[in-house]
Structure 1
Amino acid sequence: MVKFLLVEDDDRVASFIKEGLVEKGFLVDAVTTGYEAITNISINDYDVIILDIMLPDIDGYEVCKITRKRNIKSIIIILSALGDYEEKIKGLEAGADDFIAKPFHFRELLARVNAQLRRKQLEKGVFEFNKYADLEVDVELNRVTRSGKEINLTPREFNLLLYLLRNRERVLSKVEIAESVWDIHFSSSTNVVEVYINYLRNKIDKDFEDKLIHTIKGRGYLLKLKPNES
């Protein structure tokens, strides 16, 4: 699953961004200072870092430079109230992948994030981020189609499918799924993961010859195209 580090000392802005990203199915850690950011970046693997410039200790440009000097390849998107041409150049030269001036619309931020993620996936030889085989998920419209047929999912089913899709061809344990999709500590006494996997299978696989969602005995679940498998 895509993991973000949000570096923003304005509580209102941070809450707005984090809530929007979580709603779209992403995992988000949030810190308020540059030194906290460097510590987190050093011990965690983040796909995307959203970085404010004006922080209470060192500024975002310095955080960006340190991150790149450590050869960390996370996507870095700078957010700043300092939106003039020179500031944008400074941010890109520090190693940022993109620069968005405040104030901004969340949809613009999301579009730029998705564009950068698609670029990264293509660099790795992976096709479009929210597409796999004949399955396509439109996050903006909360729309799912398979072979062009629209499939109606509940919000929880949608988030589960998105998590499986973004971790395609990787076995996911029940613990990973429960903690990422439900944000709960997994308990062996609950069968919520199995129940929702079955809900998804009935909608995603039941009417199609080629199955996508598979149980890997003793390990968890896998989203992978396996032709002609019942």
Structure 2
Amino acid sequence: MYIVIDDRSLVTEGYRSLFSGEGVPAIGFTPTKFEEWVEDTPTEDLRSVEAFLIGDCEERSRYPMLIRRRSQAPVIVMNEVVSLERTLELFAAGVDDVVRKPVHVREILARVNAMQRRSEKRRASDEEVSHAGVHVYFNGRDPEVGGEVLPLPRRERRILEFMMRHRGKWVTKTQVFNAVYGLFDAEVDEAVVESHISKLRKKLRAKLEYDPIESRRYLGYTIA
């Protein structure tokens, strides 16, 4: 999930819609609401945040420190005016990247994926991940399973990408739900995750002749 902070609801709603079009949940906050949210949200929920995007708002230089107290997700500032001095100030404040608006959400996704690859100590040139016979991309392409492209519905592809990014670790149903639907989708029940994963496992099993996804009560799911 992506968090967008901006004084203007038109901007936050616009980016929420654009991310949704890429199959990625996002939520927008005004600066005041964001400060309340980031302080009060449980740590488990904050782990579902993939990046924070800071747009036009006052005192945004103090937000990286505010975020870092609760999350290690990348912090990206979106600038409308080019200013070397301002850009240097933002980097000094602890942001991970500064981009010039307008910026396409696919570019933001690519930048965040690159940061995550570096944080996981994988080669910065890697554009995808292979594991257990599954090859996934993080740019919207369908995965390759058993050497063949496997077309997947958007939600199932998103789940597979999330699990591959956390391969070797157990992820709970709540973590998967938040990564796919976001923290604020009250219209969808968490139980839908079980249905998505069940369908995904059948498709993977048909291609690989074994199930790469393990599930355990109380622990959740993993791709070992």
Q: Aligned residue for 1:116?
A: 115
TM-superposed deviation, 1:89:
1.1
Deviations 1:33-68, CA, capped at 9 Å, x for gaps:
2x333333333434421112x32xx32113235445
1:51 to 47, 51, 54: 54
Q: Unaligned 5+ residue runs, structure 2?
A: none
Q: Aligned residue for 2:7?
A: 9
Deviations 1:72-96, CA, capped at 9 Å, x for gaps:
5332101111222222111111111
CA distance in 2, matches of 1:10, 1:80: 14
Q: Aligned residue for 1:204?
A: 204
Provide the TM-score with structure 1 as the length reference: 0.74
Q: Aligned residue for 2:157?
A: 158
Q: Please tell me the root mean square deviation across aligned C-alpha atoms, in Å.
A: 3.1
CA distance in 1, matches of 2:120, 2:6: 27
TM-superposed deviation, 1:210:
5.1
CA distance in 1, matches of 2:178, 2:104: 29
* Secondary structure of 1:200 counterpart: helix
Q: Unaligned 5+ residue runs, structure 1?
A: 226-230
Q: Aligned residue for 2:189?
A: 185
* Matched residues, number: 210
Deviations 1:142-168, CA, capped at 9 Å, x for gaps:
311124321121223223323433443
Deviations 1:180-199, CA, capped at 9 Å, x for gaps:
54541346xxxx54443332
User: What percent identity do the matched residue pairs reach?
Assistant: 21
TM-superposed deviation, 1:113:
1.7
CA distance in 2, matches of 1:66, 1:177: 25
Contact 1:78–1:100 under 8 Å retained in 2: yes
Contact 2:113–2:138 under 8 Å retained in 1: no
Q: Aligned residue for 1:228?
A: none
Q: Aligned residue for 2:26?
A: 28
* Secondary structure of 1:215 counterpart: strand
Q: Aligned residue for 2:214?
A: 214
CA distance in 1, matches of 2:190, 2:70: 34
Task: Compare CA radii of gyration and give the structure with the larger one.
Answer: 1
Q: Relative to structure 1, is the Cα distance of residues 194 and 220 closer, same or farther in structure 2, using a 3 angstrom cutoff?
A: farther
Q: Relative to structure 1, is the Cα distance of residues 106 and 196 closer, same or farther in structure 2, using a 3 angstrom cutoff?
A: closer
Contact 1:130–1:166 under 8 Å retained in 2: no
Q: Aligned residue for 2:78?
A: 79
* Secondary structure of 2:155 counterpart: helix
Q: Relative to structure 1, is the Cα distance of residues 89 and 193 closer, same or farther in structure 2, using a 3 angstrom cutoff?
A: closer
CA distance in 1, matches of 2:196, 2:66: 42
Contact 1:4–1:47 under 8 Å retained in 2: yes
Give the aligned residue type for 1:82: V
* Secondary structure of 2:212 counterpart: strand
- Structure number with the bigger relative contact order (C-alpha 8 A, sep ≥ 6) is 2
